[in-house]
Amino acid sequence: MEPFIRYFTTHLTVERGLSKNTVKSYGGDLAALEEFLTANSCRSWRDCTREHLLDFLDSQRNLGMETSTLSRHLTAARMFFRYLAGEGLIAQDPSALLDSPKLWRILPDQLTVAEVDALLKVFPMRGEALEIRNRSIVHLLYASGIRVSELTGLKVADVDFENSLLRVKGKGSKERIVPAAAQVMRLIRHYLDGARVELCEKIPLAPWLFVSRRGRKLDRERVWAIIKEAALRSGIDKNIHPHTLRHSFATHLLANGADLRIIQEMLGHADIATTEIYTHVDRGRIAAIHHKFHPRG
């Protein structure tokens, strides 16, 4: 990509007079953005869109970034693209209409039950090995609520088929046991017995549950692309990513009466306050229903 970050950091130092530490922080934020864009086939800053930026911020949140760090990422991006647009280096500023990440702690994105059903039906039960693998991934993310990093870290030995349980390694390498529906376990068994054998032909002893077409450990970016493909095929007009299925998992459990402490345990949240964001979402849904159906709403 073009060396625009260097132009921008020079501008911050020479013309804006910002401190060395501030310039270094912004430069690091933008370098992370550049790496993400390159990994997602965006070869020029001129090609960066609002959707690219949303996906980048979501990926950082997926990695466990604090809201304050996400806000700084967004600030760096806004300053950077405003500078590029002002210098005539890009036609328009893709960050102009982005919302603040502070809102994400209150209103996490989610899917309706009907949208989840549509998403789960996208990849066929039988067919190409990658399609069967992708079906298992989508079903497991929604059925268990695990993070994408936890999914890619799963090994075959972590799956307890007899009791429909997963041994998941979360943040800080903390392990927890997560239940998964028997139906999803059957999908995973079907994948292991056929598709995965084909994918691991050259590495038959690969330990990872979900592997690439060459039998290597699947990375987060590929899972991201799988969910994006599923959303496109299902016709859902939302900015869907792996974390959306985690949010939907928790929200649907709460809406159907699950105890908040149990949801906290399944999600692997260290603090119940993190899980409580889903109570705000549910209250918002109730308020919307009241507004829509009550005569005085």
Residue ranges of domains in the chain:
4-105, 113-292
CATH entry, 4-105, from 1.10.150.130, 1.25.40.20, 3.40.47.10, 2.60.40.1930: 1.10.150.130
Please compute the mean of the pLDDT values over residues 62-77 and round it to a whole number: 80
3-state SS, residue 208 = strand
For 93-105, b/e burial (b = at least 16 CB within 10 A) is bbbeebeebeebb
User: 287 versus 34: which is more confidently predicted?
Assistant: 34
Question: Quick one: fold of 113-292?
Answer: hpI Integrase; Chain A (1.10.443)
Cβ-in-10-Å burial (0-12, 13-18, 19+) of 193 comes to exposed
Residues 224-249 have pLDDT tens digits of 899 999 999 999 888 788 888 998 99
Residues 74-108 have pLDDT tens digits of 889 999 999 999 999 999 898 887 766 554 554 45
pLDDT for the residue 293: 58
Catalytic residue ranges:
147, 171, 243, 246, 269, 278
- pLDDT at residue 217 above 60? yes
Q: What percent of the chain has pLDDT over 70?
A: 89
Residue with token string 């906290």: 264
Residues 159-206 have pLDDT tens digits of 999 999 999 998 777 899 999 999 999 999 999 999 999 999 999 999
- State the pTM of this model: 0.65
Range among 184-198, 254-268, 271-285 with highest mean pLDDT value: 184-198
pLDDT for the residue 106: 43
Please compute the mean of the pLDDT values over residues 33-58 and round it to a whole number: 88
User: 183 versus 282: which is more confidently predicted?
Assistant: 183
- pLDDT at residue 153 above 60? yes
d(CA 197, CA 270): 37
Look over the chain and give the mean of its residue pLDDT values, rounded to a whole number: 86
Alpha carbon 42 to its chain's center: 19
- pLDDT at residue 6 above 90? yes
